[in-house]
């Protein structure tokens, strides 16, 4: 099967002030696959994922060099690129669920309205569709106008996923999406990710390497700002090429 | 909750069943080849063995992959680890069908030493045991697996009977019949080994279903399994 490269990172170097957090990171993300990024704390994995949809621009005193090619364009370091357009096409789900202090319905409708959509019927359809895709519809269909803050942690996280899906992204970034969830909610999110990859390209950063093993097709191992190794998840977890990868995944360090 | 992992477990199940069916076919054909003195059929069993060998490698790789990627626990872990062992036994069973076929080729240009009575009986027993143990795996039926284990002594007795007859009534009386007697003796041994492997699989099925270790401990078979 031909694999189509959705995002290409080329020689990414990133600095927080004078500290270099990423060193010459280059790799390909294939379409309709889940790519996991693993590594010990401080390895640069969250920094890297935030560059992909330019969240790093919210942090002062940072500098990024290199390219992130998406649909033939450099979306990372080109100041002329429309950041809002990038973030609509490349959505993000964060570690701590962050629903707006609004109703469940409004949480999802908000992104559509901000993008200029006014058709009520369309908005309603989109809300239902997103909630179904995020496997949350059955649990909330009777209470769409209740506050999103009343939902459980796992439900809030799925709401955040529905919110990201509503604006029809092509790529979804997950930055440790289950770190604050219980095991059952985690399992539900993981099953959801496996379903979502049929339609979307997914990148997940996780400090839980067993999670990476369970959900991803390809895995990249980062250490001290460098990408040490990347390959099919099956190969990385059964026969990694680099000794440092082996040491990390067998729990000998990190 | 339905898991994507369950689909992968079902796929593994199918591969084991496929291998079981191929092993059954191999035994059946090798015995038909013996009864009909059919060199072509014997040769077919020998050349088809490669497919079964490759399937063992596929299953091994898949099991290792499932363990690495899914950290299976409890019943899932027992299913996957026992699948690895069962595929080894099935591969050995298929090899024994090849061995029987090779004996058939050795006998094909010689007149039959005696009418075949007990060897076909032992062949039927081995096929029954293999069929039952595959069914026990498919249905997670520990009771059926236990019945397979209990039949193994019958296989041993039949093999001993065949051996004694060939040694005492033929080989000891006329050494010229050795080229025709030895292959038959070996076929009996091959069939009895098939029964042993079916017994191994049955022990693995019991562990898979009940987490009970009866391997090397036949005395535990009776204890409310």
User: What residues of chain B lie within 8 A of the CB of A237, using their CB?
Assistant: 68-69
User: What residues of chain B lie within 8 A of the CB of A233, using their CB?
Assistant: 69
Per-residue pLDDT tens digits for A176-223:
999 989 999 999 999 999 999 999 999 999 999 999 999 999 999 999
For residue A19, count CB atoms less than 10 angstroms from its CB and return exposed for 0-12, middle for 13-18, buried for 19 or more: exposed
**Mean pLDDT value across chain A:** 93
Whether A237 contacts chain B with CB within 8 A = yes
Per-residue pLDDT tens digits for B87-136:
999 999 999 999 999 999 999 999 999 999 999 999 999 999 999 999 99
- How many Cβ atoms sit within 10 Å of the Cβ of residue A183? 8
- The owner of tokens 């539900």 is A188
> B120 near B31, Cβ under 8 Å?
yes
CATH class of residue range B4-222: mainly alpha
In this complex, do B69 and A213 lie within 8 Å of one another by their Cβ atoms? yes
| Domain architecture of chain A: domains with CATH | 5-95+165-249 (3.40.50.300)
> For each of chain A's 254 residues, which pLDDT tens digit applies?
457 999 999 999 999 999 999 999 999 999 999 999 999 999 999 999 999 988 888 889 999 999 999 988 898 877 788 888 888 899 999 999 999 999 999 999 998 998 889 999 999 999 999 999 999 999 999 999 999 999 999 999 999 999 999 999 999 999 999 998 999 999 999 999 999 999 999 999 999 999 999 999 999 999 999 999 999 999 999 999 999 999 999 888 75
pLDDT at B6: 92
Note the pTM of the prediction, 2 decimals. Answer: 0.85
- What residue of A is the nearest CA neighbor of B6? A191
Q: What percent of chain B has pLDDT over 90?
A: 92
- The token pair at B106 is 């050795």
User: What residues of chain A lie within 8 A of the CB of B8, using their CB?
Assistant: none
Q: How far A219 CA sits from the closest chain B CA (Å)?
A: 12
For residue A37, count CB atoms less than 10 angstroms from its CB and return exposed for 0-12, middle for 13-18, buried for 19 or more: buried
- How many Cβ atoms sit within 10 Å of the Cβ of residue A254? 16
Whether A214 contacts chain B with CB within 8 A = yes
């Amino acid at each position: 099967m031909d694999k189509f490269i959705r995002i290409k990172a080329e020689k990414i170097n990133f600095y927080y002030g004078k500290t270099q957090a990423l060193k010459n990171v280059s790799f390909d993300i294939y379409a309709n696959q889940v790519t996991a990024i693993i590594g010990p704390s401080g390895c640069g994995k969250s920094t890297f994922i935030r560059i992909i949809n330019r969240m790093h621009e919210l942090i002062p005193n940072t500098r990024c060099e290199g390219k992130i090619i998406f649909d033939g364009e450099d979306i990372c370091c080109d100041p002329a690129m429309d950041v809002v357009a990038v973030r609509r096409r490349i959505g993000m789900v964060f570690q701590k669920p962050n629903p707006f202090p609004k109703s469940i319905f409004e949480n999802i409708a908000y992104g559509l309205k901000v993008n200029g959509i006014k058709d009520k019927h369309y908005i309603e359809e989109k809300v239902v569709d997103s909630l179904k895709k995020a496997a949350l519809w059955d649990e909330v269909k009777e209470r769409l106008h209740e506050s999103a803050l009343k939902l459980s942690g796992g439900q809030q996280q799925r709401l955040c996923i529905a919110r990201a899906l509503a604006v029809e992204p092509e790529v979804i970034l997950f930055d440790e999406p289950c770190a604050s969830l219980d095991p059952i909610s985690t399992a539900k999110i993981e099953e959801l990710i496996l379903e979502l990859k049929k339609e979307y390209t997914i990148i997940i950063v996780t400090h839980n390497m067993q999670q990476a093993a369970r959900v991803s097709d390809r895995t990249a191992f980062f250490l001290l700002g460098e990408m040490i190794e990347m390959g099919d998840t099956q190969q990385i977890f059964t026969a990694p090429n680099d000794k440092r990868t082996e040491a990390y995944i067998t729990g000998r360090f990190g | 909750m339905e898991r994507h992992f369950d689909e992968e477990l079902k796929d593994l199940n199918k591969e084991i069943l496929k291998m079981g069916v191929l092993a059954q076919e191999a035994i059946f054909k090798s015995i038909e080849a013996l009864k009909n003195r059919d060199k072509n059929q014997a040769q077919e069993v020998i050349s088809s063995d490669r497919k079964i060998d490759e399937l063992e490698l596929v299953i091994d790789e898949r099991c290792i992959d499932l363990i690495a990627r899914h950290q299976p626990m409890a019943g899932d872990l027992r299913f996957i680890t026992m699948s690895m062992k069962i595929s080894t036994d099935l591969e050995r069973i298929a090899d024994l069908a090849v061995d029987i076929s090779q004996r058939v080729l050795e006998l094909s240009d010689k007149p039959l030493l005696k009418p075949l009575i007990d060897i076909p009986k032992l062949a039927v027993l081995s096929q029954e045991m293999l069929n039952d143990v595959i069914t026990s795996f498919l249905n997670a039926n520990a009771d059926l697996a236990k019945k397979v284990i209990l039949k193994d002594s019958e296989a041993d007795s039949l093999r001993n009977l065949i051996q004694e007859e060939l040694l005492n009534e033929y080989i000891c009386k006329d050494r010229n019949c050795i080229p025709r007697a030895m292959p038959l003796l070996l076929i009996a041994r091959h069939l009895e080994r098939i029964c042993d492997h079916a017994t191994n699989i049955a022990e693995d099925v019991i562990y898979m279903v009940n987490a009970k270790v009866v391997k090397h401990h036949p005395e535990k078979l009776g204890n409310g399994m």
